[in-house]
Structure 1
Amino acid sequence: MSTQTNKKSSAKSFTEKRPVLAVVLIEALLFIAVFMAGAYATIKELSVSAPILISYIPIAAVLAIYYTLKRKWGFYGFRSLSSIPKGDWGYYLPLLAVLVIIALKGFRQIEASEVLFYLGFTLLVGFVEESIYRGLIVNILRPKSVRTAVITSSVLFGVTHVLSVLSGQDAFQTVLQIVYALLLGGALALLMIRNRNILPLILFHFLHNFIQYVGNDNSDAYLGIDLAILALLAAYCVWLALSLRRTPLPGAAGQGINSIQ
Structure 2
Amino acid sequence: MTSPQTGRNPSFSERKPVLIVIIIELLLLLAVFAAGAVATVKQLDYTSPVLMSFTPMAVVLIIYLTVRRKWGETGFRSLRTIPVLHVKYYIPLLLVLGTIALKGFTELTLTKVIFFVFFTLLVAFVEETVYRGLIFKTLLRRSAMAAVVTSSILFSVTHMLNALSGQSVADTMLQLVYALLLGAVLALLMLKNGNIIPLILFHFIHNLIQFLSDDLQDANTLPYDLFLLVVLVFYCIWLTFSVRTTKRSSSDPGTTGHKVIH
TM-score, normalised via structure 2 length? 0.91
Match of 1:193 among 191, 194, 201: 191
Match of 2:101 among 91, 100, 103: 103
Q: Which amino acid in the other structure matches residue 76 of structure 1?
A: T
Aligned partners of 1:4, 1:21: CA distance in 2, in Å?
20
Aligned partners of 1:159, 1:50: CA distance in 2, in Å?
20
Deviation string, structure 1 residues 154-176 (Cα, Å, up to 9, x no partner): 00000011111111111111111
Per the alignment, residue 245 of structure 1 pairs with: 244
Aligned partners of 2:214, 2:23: CA distance in 1, in Å?
37
**Is the Cα–Cα contact under 8 Å of residues 194 and 249 in structure 1 kept in the other structure?**
no
Residue 220 of structure 1: CA displacement? 2.1
Per the alignment, residue 48 of structure 2 pairs with: 50
Residue 40 of structure 1: CA displacement? 1.1
**Is the Cα–Cα contact under 8 Å of residues 2 and 8 in structure 2 kept in the other structure?**
no
Aligned partners of 1:6, 1:194: CA distance in 2, in Å?
27
Equivalent runs, 1:77-226 vs 2, <5 Å? 77-217=75-215, 218-226=217-225
Aligned partners of 2:71, 2:195: CA distance in 1, in Å?
10
Per the alignment, residue 259 of structure 1 pairs with: none
**Is the Cα–Cα contact under 8 Å of residues 3 and 9 in structure 2 kept in the other structure?**
no
Q: Which amino acid in the other structure matches residue 225 of structure 2?
A: D
Per the alignment, residue 63 of structure 1 pairs with: 61
Greater displacement, 25-34 / 102-111: 102-111
Residue 106 of structure 1: CA displacement? 1.0
Per the alignment, residue 19 of structure 2 pairs with: 21
Aligned partners of 1:76, 1:203: CA distance in 2, in Å?
16
Q: Which amino acid in the other structure matches residue 154 of structure 2?
A: L
Residue 244 of structure 1: CA displacement? 0.6
**Is the Cα–Cα contact under 8 Å of residues 17 and 141 in structure 2 kept in the other structure?**
no
Aligned partners of 1:104, 1:43: CA distance in 2, in Å?
36
Aligned partners of 1:7, 1:100: CA distance in 2, in Å?
46
Aligned partners of 1:152, 1:196: CA distance in 2, in Å?
17
Match of 2:35 among 34, 37, 40: 37
Deviation string, structure 1 residues 139-192 (Cα, Å, up to 9, x no partner): 000021111000000000000111111111111111110000000000000000
Per the alignment, residue 228 of structure 1 pairs with: 227
Structure 1 portions without partners, runs of 5+: 257-261
Check 1:8–1:175 CA distance in 2 against 1; reply closer, same or farther (3 A cut). same
Aligned partners of 1:242, 1:250: CA distance in 2, in Å?
12
Residue 219 of structure 1: CA displacement? 2.4
**Is the Cα–Cα contact under 8 Å of residues 79 and 198 in structure 1 kept in the other structure?**
yes
Residue 42 of structure 1: CA displacement? 1.4
Check 1:250–1:65 CA distance in 2 against 1; reply closer, same or farther (3 A cut). farther
Residue 14 of structure 1: CA displacement? 1.3
Aligned partners of 1:18, 1:59: CA distance in 2, in Å?
22
Aligned partners of 1:174, 1:4: CA distance in 2, in Å?
46
Check 1:249–1:54 CA distance in 2 against 1; reply closer, same or farther (3 A cut). farther
Check 1:152–1:39 CA distance in 2 against 1; reply closer, same or farther (3 A cut). same
C-alpha RMSD over aligned residues? 2.0
Residue 130 of structure 1: CA displacement? 0.1
TM-score, normalised via structure 1 length? 0.92
